[in-house]
Homo-oligomer: A and B are copies of this chain.
Amino acid sequence: MAITLAIDCMGGDHGPQVTLPATFDFLRKNPSCSAILVGPELVLRAYVTPVEQEFGARISVHNATEVIGMEESIASALRSKKDSSMRVAINLVKEGVAQAAVSAGNTGALMAIARFVLKTLPGIDRPAICTVLPSRRGATYVLDLGANVDCSAEHLLQFGIMGAMLASALEHKERPSVGLLNIGEEDIKGNDIVKRAGELLRQSDLNFFGNVEGNDIFNGTTDVVVCDGFVGNVTLKASEGLAQMISSGLKEEFSRSIFTRLAALIAMPVLKSFRRRFDHRRYNGASLLGLKGIVVKSHGSADRLAFLSALTRAAEAARQQLPIKIAERMAAVSPAPTI
């Protein structure tokens, strides 16, 4: 299936220096896909000219005169920057010109603009952000990661449905298992909202595993882990912090003396294959779920390989027509109670 991605080339810590080479890599790997590069035309042209012949009509530049800063307020991004690269990329999805938008920009602004421009799917009260984390058994999809700090049990059920549809689309699993993040396995654990969410998930037609605990995310106990955005955000960032601490600790130990540096040289192939295994760049690309269109958020600090992962995820979600599948599934769920 031919997919066109709209790429906010200006987002992230590195902007076009990363987003453009990554897009070229993506186009080389996906000969049936096209890319619309969104940003100030003058800036982008310089990058595109050398590859115009290679990609032909598969690549085009769509001018956008404004850029949303990484620290810019949501209100300012939404109200006064109607020609930002981020917004224009999302507009292209809305208009059906592109099947997915990818941005490494400001998460809050991206969610607000995506929600405003694309609107939520019928039956979805609140969009959620879902990322994939490495686990002992492969990958775990975790949501929400910060779009919703206070969630009702019904929201958590909707997250379960959306997460399962995403895992199904990207991992090609028919009935991905869904776990509810809690502080114990027993049904009586947790606060009232989580207990009630457990009931709703049990009654649903999802492949609901039951409660899972923090360690189950990395043990890969279930394909999907559902939690509110506060818990998800803190857990994700704590994991990032721990992984960075371990990685820099390992580096420090191996560069302590001439002997340890020698040991590092000998252990290098092993350390490299270890790093590849848990390389967070391979897991880059969080999905904004529950919208009438596909939007993928790359980590702001993404490098070329990481941004390529985000593009690949966006294309796969588009191939699988994820929003249509979520909408169909939501229509099959009994009408949600008023919240």
> A residues touching B (Cβ–Cβ < 8 Å)?
134-136, 146, 149-150, 181, 183, 190-191, 194, 213-219, 227, 229-231, 233-246, 248-250, 253-254, 256, 259-260, 262-264, 266-267, 269-271, 273-274, 277-278
Known: A253-B273, A260-B270. A216 touches B234 (CB 8 A): no
- Check if A149 sits within 8 Å of B183, measured CB to CB: yes
Known: A215-B241, A219-B241. A249 touches B278 (CB 8 A): yes
Q: How far is the CA of A300 from the CA of B103 in the complex (A)?
A: 45
- Check if A149 sits within 8 Å of B245, measured CB to CB: no
Tell me the smallest distance from the CB of A119 to a CB of chain B, in Å.
Answer: 25
- Check if A236 sits within 8 Å of B253, measured CB to CB: no
Known: A266-B266, A270-B254. A239 touches B219 (CB 8 A): no
Q: How far is the CA of A227 from the CA of B235 in the complex (A)?
A: 12
Looking across the interface, which residue of chain B has its beta carbon closest to that of A247?
A: B246
Known: A215-B238, A241-B216. A253 touches B277 (CB 8 A): yes
Q: How far is the CA of A32 from the CA of B39 in the complex (A)?
A: 71
Q: How far is the CA of A215 from the CA of B215 in the complex (A)?
A: 17
The one of B238, B248, B262 in contact with A136, judged by C-beta atoms closer than 8 angstroms, is: B248
Q: How far is the CA of A182 from the CA of B229 in the complex (A)?
A: 11
Interface residues of A: mostly helix, strand, loop or mixed?
A: helix
Tell me the smallest distance from the CB of A149 to a CB of chain B, in Å.
Answer: 5
Looking across the interface, which residue of chain B has its beta carbon closest to that of A239?
A: B242
Number of identical protomers: 2
- Check if B234 sits within 8 Å of A214, measured CB to CB: yes
Known: A243-B242, A246-B246. A214 touches B235 (CB 8 A): yes
Of listed A194, A248, A270, A274, residue having the most chain B CB within 10 A:
A270
- Check if A240 sits within 8 Å of B267, measured CB to CB: no
- Check if B213 sits within 8 Å of A181, measured CB to CB: no
| A264 / chain B contacts, CB cutoff of 8 Å | 267, 270
- Check if B238 sits within 8 Å of A214, measured CB to CB: yes
Q: How far is the CA of A249 from the CA of B234 in the complex (A)?
A: 24
| A278 / chain B contacts, CB cutoff of 8 Å | 245-246, 249
| A219 / chain B contacts, CB cutoff of 8 Å | 241, 245
Tell me the smallest distance from the CB of A152 to a CB of chain B, in Å.
Answer: 13
| A214 / chain B contacts, CB cutoff of 8 Å | 233-241
- Check if B233 sits within 8 Å of A235, measured CB to CB: no
Q: How far is the CA of A217 from the CA of B244 in the complex (A)?
A: 12
5 additional contacts (CB under 8 A) given A214-B238, A219-B245: A134-B245, A214-B240, A217-B242, A234-B234, A263-B270
